[in-house]
Structure 1
Amino acid sequence: MTPSRAAAVLAAQTLADDGRFLETLRARVAIATESQNAERLPDLYRYLHDEIGPAVAKMGFDYRVVDNPIAGGGPFLIATRIEDAALPTILGYGHGDVVRGIPAQWREGLDPWTITVEGERWYGRGTADNKSQHAIWLAALGEVLAARGSLGFNAKFIVETSEEIGSVGLDLLLEAEAEALSCDLLLASDGPRMLRDKVDIKLGNRGAYAFDLSVKLREGSRHSGHWGGVLEDPGLILAHALASITTPRGRILIDDWLPKSVPPRVTAALQAIHVDPSDPTLIMPEDWGEARLSRGEKMYGWTSFIVLAYVTGTPEKPINGVQPEAYARCQLRYTVDVDEARFMPALREHLDRHGFHQVEITNLPLNRFPAWRTDPDNPWVDRVLDSIAATIGYAPTLMPNSSGGLPSEIFARHLNCPVIWIPHSYGGCKQHGPDEHVLQPLMREGLGIMAGLFWDLGARDDG
């Protein structure tokens, strides 16, 4: 019987129907790959050696596990299957590490390291971020290989285990392994869809940039009865400094943090989307932030400023004293339409102009992803869109970039390739929090989408 695209798609979808994909995911979630916990480093190696390595070897990949070039970072797995040097090469990416399990915060009856099935929901740490998503990539690839006997393209795959701590070592690894990982397209999955029931693809990510603001005026606190109203209060000084950065409704007042212009095709795409938080408790006032923009533009096409933490004194045990110092950790999310190099100089100029000379800025160059966006007119984009449409029966939403951080820029810079993300999770999956889960229908659909796409990427005249 002549192999067919439809048969490969159905075979991949059946993995989610008959429990085989669930069992694969069970084994991978059971390995507690918390990269934020240094004691879990052996588990990061075990995940690659015991789970990913055998899976790629079964499909004819050569693979190796590489130590992280930065001490404390988790290892990498690099796998390669070359069918013909003249064929295009597709690189897949995933991360095997997860955030802390925090089991005490999960609902009764749920455990982060054991998948619990309730209806269409599969609960477990890493189900959404990112173990199911790269498991879909590999499983779909395997079904196409089984149906056709070959892929029709060269395939490479990299799994890191430090993504949740800022992809420590990935930049250096790609610099050293650029030739081994050279490709025509990076095709990967991470993050949630914008809408649960509609497929989208993303061409990059907003950047994440963290920094600290601090005020230190003296050593030790002083009696508030004697010195309150006389000594400067660093908590108040820092509060006013932070308040000067935005309006009371969150609109950023530092011009160099904002895009000067956004490409028309990007604006048009963002204005056409509907943002669904999949959580009725999340209230998004229209007047918060840049009120003239749509929610889609705010989330995917603009800069956001957030105070992640603010501390003065000892909040758990306040004392009657004028405190000596105050500290805030802040974060910017931004697009490629903004010059990152101006972030800290512009902030310093702003604070000085408003009289906040006592506020010190500490840049945090680690644990962040630069912004990146693949050109929407790149021919690979339409090729991917057309394939997905052929599988699901409608045109997927084209997103210029995700709202969160991904290592798109690092891959594009070192490998000079377009980057396309196809997420298989949804906004209500609770990744990074208690009760993380994926939905079985999205797993099934994702397996079919990726099988159809891999089939099309290797198709010649075989249907």
Structure 2
Amino acid sequence: MNNNVKVYLSEQRDRQLEELTEFLKIPSVSSLSEHTKDVESCANWISNSLSEAGMQNVKVMPTKRHPVVYGEWLGAEGKPTVLIYGHYDVQPVDPLHLWETPPFEPMIRDEKIYARGASDDKGQVFMHIKAIEAIMKTTDSLPVNVKFLIEGEEEIGSPNLPDFIEEHKEMLAADVLLISDTALYAKGEPAICYALRGLAGVQIDVKGPKRDLHSGAFGGGVPNPAKQLVDLIASFHDDNFQIRVEGFYDKVRALTEEEREAYRALQFDEEKVKKDLELSELVGEEGYTFLERVSGRPTLEINGIYGGFQGEGIKTVIPAEAHAKITCRLVPNQDPDEIIQLIEKHIQKNKPAGVEVTVTPFDKGHPFITPFDHPAIQAAAKSYEEEYGVPTKFIREGGSIPIVAVFDQILKTPVVLMGFGLESENIHSPNEHFHLENFDKGLAVICDYLFRLSDSL
């Protein structure tokens, strides 16, 4: 990387943090209608920032709800094209009283910047814009072609982005998709996430008698929806935590020995997890470590059960209905629609007597995986190592970012998840913050990566 770029970043740090503060002040909460104008204002702020950084053909493009911002610089003839994706919308701030400082009045203390969106994802998006600016201001060009796609609906599930991507495939065509919306493995330990689990969620509703019944007058003689639901839920797993839904594992892509060796190399401390969570033991699918279970294997989890009397004391009723919410985390080759169908089939097969059972699908998202020996990922690992001075870890993420799989399916582009956050930064919670150490190092990593990528593909 050109040394002038590093000098520029150092000299411009105070100005950059002032601009980041300005960016974070905009309450771009995508889920609340009262912030619609703020979301639009934030899109315009991004547009202006991209233009000032040297991007061309910058435009705010409408969707059915919140706009996306696009910009490009295509002057590197014969070089790869990088599509940089991120989001400028943020989560609601509730509960407000738990914030130590107002969520949209950014405050720097202890070399961390506190504000809603500081880590997820405004801070990380801003770094990419400033990295481009630094290279453009010092070299008058870029080592690769660059496109930006920054959306305003990620925190509500990106409902309109799949159609936008499909409609603008040619405009968004690229050799690499670069995303910074994940975290380091730990403080000072960079990691590249090469796989995300998918998601399939359902609600189960069990209905019995037409009203709550007195348990003394009817107990033992009528179906109890709460008991029937518990029996149904118990049928999902065996005693070894294997999922008993027929066909659930049929298309699971097994962990390779290379992947399992990468897990072992992390030297993950399971005892610390037990201590932190105040648990006597960890449980799960036999034959797999904790890390493998929570990131590389599929799951079926009960997220909530409710029905009948919930207040203080006891009310002797047989509830008229009971409900459960379930989500499955899926691994490569599993299809969320197919999994939901298998769950519905299992429920019908195991339906208790005397009650009506309905299943309502909710959130869905495909799993994603990119081979971590891909040149674009290996180049990213070297850029991390150049700045952090330690080997880059390769990890699977247990959570889901459904839009990543959409990009993969529509654009057929390798995805590099190059995050700079930390799990401790309270994203989605009060007192969200971003460590400025990773802001500084991340800028250098991104710049180095763009230069390195020029010769890697």
Shared topology, TM-score over 0.5?
A: yes
Q: Where in structure 2 are the equivalents of 1:296-307 lying within 5 Å?
A: 296-307=291-302
2:34 pairs, out of 14, 22, 39, with 39
Amino acid at match of 1:80: E
How much has 1:210 moved relative to structure 2?
1.2
Of the structure 1 ranges 59-68 and 342-351, higher mean CA displacement relative to structure 2 is found in 342-351
How much has 1:353 moved relative to structure 2?
4.3
Which contiguous aligned blocks of 4+ residues in structure 1 show a shift greater than 6 angstroms?
A: 276-280
**1: CA distance between counterparts of 2:278 and 2:84?**
36
Correspondence for 1:116: 107
**2: CA distance between counterparts of 1:105 and 1:305?**
35
How much has 1:292 moved relative to structure 2?
2.6
Correspondence for 1:183: 174
Contact 2:387–2:441, Cα closer than 8 Å, also in 1: no
Q: Where in structure 2 are the equivalents of 1:233-244 lying within 5 Å?
A: 233-244=224-235
Contact 2:107–2:114, Cα closer than 8 Å, also in 1: yes
**2: CA distance between counterparts of 1:14 and 1:368?**
45
How much has 1:372 moved relative to structure 2?
0.8
Superposed CA deviations along residues 158-208 of structure 1, whole A, max 9, x for unmatched, are 111111111111110000011111111001101222222200112241112
How much has 1:23 moved relative to structure 2?
2.1
**2: CA distance between counterparts of 1:305 and 1:134?**
33
Corresponding residue SS for 1:198: coil
**2: CA distance between counterparts of 1:328 and 1:206?**
22
How much has 1:153 moved relative to structure 2?
1.6
Q: Where in structure 2 are the equivalents of 1:175-214 lying within 5 Å?
A: 175-214=166-205
Contact 2:199–2:328, Cα closer than 8 Å, also in 1: yes
Contact 1:184–1:417, Cα closer than 8 Å, also in 2: yes
**2: CA distance between counterparts of 1:13 and 1:450?**
15
* RMSD, aligned CA: 2.7
Amino acid at match of 1:289: G
Superposed CA deviations along residues 123-171 of structure 1, whole A, max 9, x for unmatched, are 2211111111111111112112222210022110011111111111111
Correspondence for 1:424: 420
Do residues 268 (structure 1) and 265 (structure 2) align?
no
Amino acid at match of 1:202: C
27 and 344 in structure 1: CA distance in 2 versus 1, 3 angstrom threshold: same
How much has 1:8 moved relative to structure 2?
1.7
Contact 2:193–2:396, Cα closer than 8 Å, also in 1: yes
204 and 65 in structure 1: CA distance in 2 versus 1, 3 angstrom threshold: farther
Q: Where in structure 2 are the equivalents of 1:256-405 lying within 5 Å?
A: 256-258=247-249, 259=252, 261-275=254-268, 281-283=276-278, 287-313=282-308, 315=310, 320-356=316-352, 358-364=356-362, 367-401=363-397, 403-405=399-401
Corresponding residue SS for 2:287: coil
TM-score (norm 2): 0.89
Do residues 98 (structure 1) and 90 (structure 2) align?
yes
**1: CA distance between counterparts of 2:141 and 2:318?**
71
2:75 pairs, out of 83, 100, 112, with 83
Contact 2:189–2:390, Cα closer than 8 Å, also in 1: no
Contact 1:184–1:418, Cα closer than 8 Å, also in 2: yes
Contact 1:65–1:75, Cα closer than 8 Å, also in 2: yes
Of the structure 1 ranges 245-254 and 152-161, higher mean CA displacement relative to structure 2 is found in 245-254
**2: CA distance between counterparts of 1:283 and 1:174?**
45
Contact 1:348–1:361, Cα closer than 8 Å, also in 2: yes
Of the structure 1 ranges 38-47 and 389-398, higher mean CA displacement relative to structure 2 is found in 389-398
**1: CA distance between counterparts of 2:148 and 2:280?**
42
5 and 84 in structure 1: CA distance in 2 versus 1, 3 angstrom threshold: closer
Do residues 12 (structure 1) and 9 (structure 2) align?
yes
Contact 1:207–1:372, Cα closer than 8 Å, also in 2: yes
Amino acid at match of 1:266: E
Corresponding residue SS for 2:284: coil
2:50 pairs, out of 30, 52, 56, with 56
Superposed CA deviations along residues 25-58 of structure 1, whole A, max 9, x for unmatched, are 2222221122221222221111111x20111111
Amino acid at match of 1:203: Y
**2: CA distance between counterparts of 1:301 and 1:444?**
32
Corresponding residue SS for 2:149: strand
- Mind listing any 5+ residue stretches in structure 2 that lack a counterpart? none
TM-score (norm 1): 0.88
Contact 1:262–1:337, Cα closer than 8 Å, also in 2: no
How much has 1:76 moved relative to structure 2?
1.0
Correspondence for 2:66: 74
- Aligned residue pairs: how many? 448
257 and 74 in structure 1: CA distance in 2 versus 1, 3 angstrom threshold: farther
**1: CA distance between counterparts of 2:241 and 2:26?**
41
Corresponding residue SS for 2:172: coil
161 and 204 in structure 1: CA distance in 2 versus 1, 3 angstrom threshold: farther
Superposed CA deviations along residues 236-283 of structure 1, whole A, max 9, x for unmatched, are 211222222235685533364343622333232223224579997435
Do residues 437 (structure 1) and 428 (structure 2) align?
no
How much has 1:413 moved relative to structure 2?
1.5
250 and 225 in structure 1: CA distance in 2 versus 1, 3 angstrom threshold: same
Of the structure 1 ranges 337-346 and 51-60, higher mean CA displacement relative to structure 2 is found in 337-346
Corresponding residue SS for 1:52: helix
**1: CA distance between counterparts of 2:2 and 2:224?**
69
Do residues 220 (structure 1) and 211 (structure 2) align?
yes
Of the structure 1 ranges 163-172 and 38-47, higher mean CA displacement relative to structure 2 is found in 38-47
Contact 2:384–2:392, Cα closer than 8 Å, also in 1: yes
Superposed CA deviations along residues 270-316 of structure 1, whole A, max 9, x for unmatched, are 23224579997435665412243122212221112222232214635
Contact 2:205–2:358, Cα closer than 8 Å, also in 1: yes
How much has 1:234 moved relative to structure 2?
1.2
Of the structure 1 ranges 126-135 and 353-362, higher mean CA displacement relative to structure 2 is found in 353-362
2:133 pairs, out of 134, 142, 155, with 142
**1: CA distance between counterparts of 2:279 and 2:380?**
32
Contact 1:166–1:369, Cα closer than 8 Å, also in 2: no
- Mind listing any 5+ residue stretches in structure 1 that lack a counterpart? none
Correspondence for 1:453: 449
Contact 1:128–1:438, Cα closer than 8 Å, also in 2: yes
**2: CA distance between counterparts of 1:304 and 1:120?**
38
Percent identity reads 22
**2: CA distance between counterparts of 1:275 and 1:429?**
20
Contact 2:196–2:369, Cα closer than 8 Å, also in 1: yes
Corresponding residue SS for 1:238: helix
How much has 1:94 moved relative to structure 2?
0.6
Corresponding residue SS for 1:19: helix
